[in-house]
Chain A
Amino acid sequence: MIERIGANIRGKFVEFGYATGFFLSLIKGSFFFFRQKHVGLKVLMMQILFTGFEALSIIILLGLALGVVIIVQGLAILPQFGQGDLIYTILDVVITRELGPLLTAFVIIARSATAISTELGNMVASQEIEAYVSVGIDPIDYLAVPRFLGVIISIVLLNLYFNIAGLIGSFFVAQFIQTVTIAEYFRNLLVFSQPASIVISFIKSFVFGIIISFSATYNGFKVEGSTTEIPQVVIKAVGQGLALCIIASAIITALSYLWF
C-alpha cells in the first residue's frame, strides 16, 4: 500500500517534470518561431482560421446575448435604487473584465482544445508523430508551438470581438427600454468604466490562451499508442482547461484589486 502511494507520488513528480519541460519547450519554440523561415507557419494560419475565425459567429452571438441579459436586468432593477448609471459599470465589469474572457475561453475549450488533443492523440496512435521525428521535424516545434501561438492569438482577438459585440448589443437593446443616443451611451461607458478593465481583460485572455493550448497539446501528446486513450486525454484537457482558467481568473481578479 505504502509502496503504491510512494510510486503514485513519484509518478506525479515525474509528470510534473515532463509538463514543465514541455511548457519550457513551447516557450522556447514560440520565441524562435518567427525568427526563421518556419514550415509551421501554415499550421499557425490554419489554427488561427479554425480557432479564431470559425468561432467568430458564436462569440459574437454570445457577446450580444450577454449584453442583452445585463442591460435588461440592469435597467429593470437599478433605477429602482436610483442607480441607473451603474449599468455602465456593471457592463464594464461583467463583460470586459470577467465573463468576456471566461466565456471566450469556454468556447475555445469546447471547440479547439478538444480538437487539438484529439488530433494530436490520433497522430501519436497512428505513428504520425514518429514519422515527423523520422524526417527530422520536431513535433513540438511543428505541431504544438503553432497551435500554442494560434490559440493565444485567437483568444485575445475573440475576447476583443466578444467585448465589442457585448457592448454594442447592449446599446441596441437599451434603445427598446430607454432611448439613449449612441454618443451618450459610449460617453457614459467611458466615464463609468475603468481603463484597467481593458488591461485585465487582455491579461486574462492571454493567460487563458496559454492554459488552454498547453493543456490541449500536452494531453494530446500523452497518448501512448492506443486510440482508446484519446477520449481520456480529451476529457483531461477539457477538465484541466476549465479548472485552471477559472482559478487563473480568480487570481487575476484578486490581484487586479491590489494593483489597480
Chain B
Amino acid sequence: MIDNNYSIELIDITIAKNNNIILDNISFKVPEGITTIIVGHLGSGKSTLLKTISSIIVPNSGKVLINEKPYTSMSAAAIKAYRKSCGFVFQDSALWANKTIYQNLELPLLYHFPDIKKENIDNKIKKTLDLLGYEGNINRRPSDISAGNRKLISFARALITDPDILMIDSPETSIDFSSHGKIRNIIRDLKARGKTLIICTYDEYITSMLADHVVVLFKNKIYASGSYKEIVTSNDPVIRRIMSHVLDKVSNFDGDILNLINPNS
C-alpha cells in the first residue's frame, strides 16, 4: 500500500486559452489508492484536466489543493516531496531532446536523491527499463529511437522515483501491440500495489479491467463522476456515447460483467 498519502482536490477550476474555455468550473477530488479513468470526446479537456490535477498547468481561476493546502502556497521543499511521489506520463512522451535516454532517467534521481551513487543510478535505471522490456541503447537521444520506445522511456522516467501517484495521458498512443501489453501489465501491477492512478485513455481494456472510478468529461465540464459500475450501467445517452468503446467490449464479453469489472474477484 502507499506509504505517503497525498489527497488532491480541484476547487472551481477554470482554464481558458485565447478566449476558449478548456475546463469550465471543475471541482473534483481524486480518489486515493484506486484507479481513476478520465474519458471524454476529443477536445473535451482530458489532458488539460490531468495536467491540472498534477499542477503542471496553473488554472486561470480556482485552486488545486494538495493535502488541503493550495499548491501555489506550498513551500519549495513540500513541492519537491510531492513531485517525488507523483509521476506523469505525457501523451507525446515529452522526453528531453538534448539528453540521452540514460540522462533522461538519471536527472529525476539526481534531483530527488542528490547523494545517490552512480552504481545505484545504473541499477535503478536497469531495473526500470527491464520492467518495461526496453532493450535499446540507452546512450542514444530520443530523436534516434522510435515513437513507441520514446513512450516506454516516458513511462520509465515517471516510474524511476517509484511514485505513489501516477498520472498517465493516453498510454495507448504511439506504441506497438507488444508494448501495449507490457504497459497494460505495468498499470495492472501498479494498481495491485495500491498506487493512485489517474489515466486518460480510450483503451477499453484499461478502462473495463482496471477502472475503479470514472470521470466523464463533456463540453469541458465534468458530466459524470462515479464508480466504474455506476458509469458503465448508466442509461444516460451522453455517457453511453462516450463510453461506447467500453460498452461494446462489455456487451461482447461472454461472462459476468462483475468478473470483467474485477477479474480477480
Do A and B interact? yes
CB-based contact B51/A130 at 8 Å: yes
Q: CA of A131 to CA of B54 in the docked complex: distance in angstroms?
A: 11
Given the complex, which residues of A lie within 8 Å of B54, measured CB to CB?
134
Residue of A nearest to B88 (CB): A134
Other-chain residue from A39, A119, A130, A131 in contact with B111 (beta carbon distance below 8 A): A39
Given the complex, which residues of B lie within 8 Å of A224, measured CB to CB?
17
CB-based contact A131/B84 at 8 Å: no
Chain A binder among B36-44, B91-99, B121-129, B241-249 = B91-99
Given contacts A119-B98, A128-B95, A128-B97, 10 further A-B contacts (CB under 8 A): A39-B114, A130-B90, A130-B94, A131-B88, A133-B56, A134-B87, A135-B83, A136-B80, A137-B107, A137-B111
CB-based contact B108/A136 at 8 Å: yes
CB-based contact A39/B83 at 8 Å: no
Q: Which B residues between 32 and 71 are near A, CB-CB below 8 angstroms?
A: 51, 54-57
Q: CA of A141 to CA of B17 in the docked complex: distance in angstroms?
A: 26
Q: Chain A 114-148 against B: per-residue CB contact (8 Å), 1 yes, 0 no?
A: 00000100110011101111111110000000000
Given the complex, which residues of A lie within 8 Å of B88, measured CB to CB?
131, 134-135
CB-based contact A135/B108 at 8 Å: yes
CB-based contact B90/A127 at 8 Å: yes
Given the complex, which residues of A lie within 8 Å of B98, measured CB to CB?
119
Residue of A nearest to B96 (CB): A128
**How extensive is the interface on chain B, given as a class?**
20 to 34
Other-chain residue from B56, B82, B94, B112 in contact with A126 (beta carbon distance below 8 A): B94
Distance in Å from the Cβ of A63 to the closest Cβ of chain B?
31
CB-based contact A136/B94 at 8 Å: no
Q: Knowing A37-B114, A130-B51, A130-B56, say if A135 contacts B94 (CB, 8 Å).
A: no
Q: B157: CB under 8 A from chain A?
A: yes
Task: Please report B residues at the A interface, Cβ cutoff 8 Å.
Answer: 17, 51, 54-57, 76, 79-80, 82-84, 86-88, 90, 92, 94-98, 107-108, 110-112, 114-115, 157-158, 161
Q: CA of A37 to CA of B115 in the docked complex: distance in angstroms?
A: 9
Q: CA of A134 to CA of B93 in the docked complex: distance in angstroms?
A: 12
Q: Which A residues between 133 and 186 are near B, CB-CB below 8 angstroms?
A: 133-138
Q: CA of A138 to CA of B54 in the docked complex: distance in angstroms?
A: 14
Given the complex, which residues of A lie within 8 Å of B86, measured CB to CB?
134
Q: Chain A 80-100 against B: per-residue CB contact (8 Å), 1 yes, 0 no?
A: 000000000000000000000
CB-based contact A126/B97 at 8 Å: yes
Given the complex, which residues of A lie within 8 Å of B161, measured CB to CB?
135
Distance in Å from the Cβ of B58 to the closest Cβ of chain A?
10
Q: Knowing A39-B110, A137-B107, say if A131 contacts B80 (CB, 8 Å).
A: no
Can you give 6 contacting A-B residue pairs, CB < 8 Å? A123-B96, A128-B95, A131-B94, A131-B95, A134-B87, A136-B84
Given the complex, which residues of A lie within 8 Å of B56, measured CB to CB?
130, 133-134
Q: CA of A136 to CA of B55 in the docked complex: distance in angstroms?
A: 11
CB-based contact B92/A135 at 8 Å: no
Q: CA of A132 to CA of B98 in the docked complex: distance in angstroms?
A: 13
Q: Knowing A127-B94, A128-B94, say if A136 contacts B79 (CB, 8 Å).
A: yes
Most buried by B among A123, A130, A131, A135: A135
Given the complex, which residues of A lie within 8 Å of B94, measured CB to CB?
126-128, 130-131
Most buried by A among B55, B94, B98: B94
Distance in Å from the Cβ of B81 to the closest Cβ of chain A?
9
Q: Which A residues between 6 and 45 are near B, CB-CB below 8 angstroms?
A: 36-37, 39
Distance in Å from the Cβ of B135 to the closest Cβ of chain A?
23
Most buried by A among B84, B98, B161: B98
Q: CA of A132 to CA of B110 in the docked complex: distance in angstroms?
A: 13
Closest 9 A/B residue pairs (Cβ): A136-B83, A134-B88, A127-B94, A131-B94, A135-B108, A37-B114, A130-B56, A133-B56, A39-B110
Distance in Å from the Cβ of B95 to the closest Cβ of chain A?
7
Given the complex, which residues of A lie within 8 Å of B115, measured CB to CB?
37
Q: CA of A39 to CA of B55 in the docked complex: distance in angstroms?
A: 22
Q: CA of A73 to CA of B114 in the docked complex: distance in angstroms?
A: 58
Given the complex, which residues of A lie within 8 Å of B107, measured CB to CB?
39, 135, 137
Q: CA of A130 to CA of B56 in the docked complex: distance in angstroms?
A: 6
Most buried by B among A122, A133, A136, A224: A136
Given the complex, which residues of B lie within 8 Å of A128, measured CB to CB?
94-97
Distance in Å from the Cβ of B31 to the closest Cβ of chain A?
21
Q: CA of A249 to CA of B259 in the docked complex: distance in angstroms?
A: 76
Residue of A nearest to B83 (CB): A136
Q: CA of A136 to CA of B107 in the docked complex: distance in angstroms?
A: 11
Given the complex, which residues of B lie within 8 Å of A122, measured CB to CB?
97
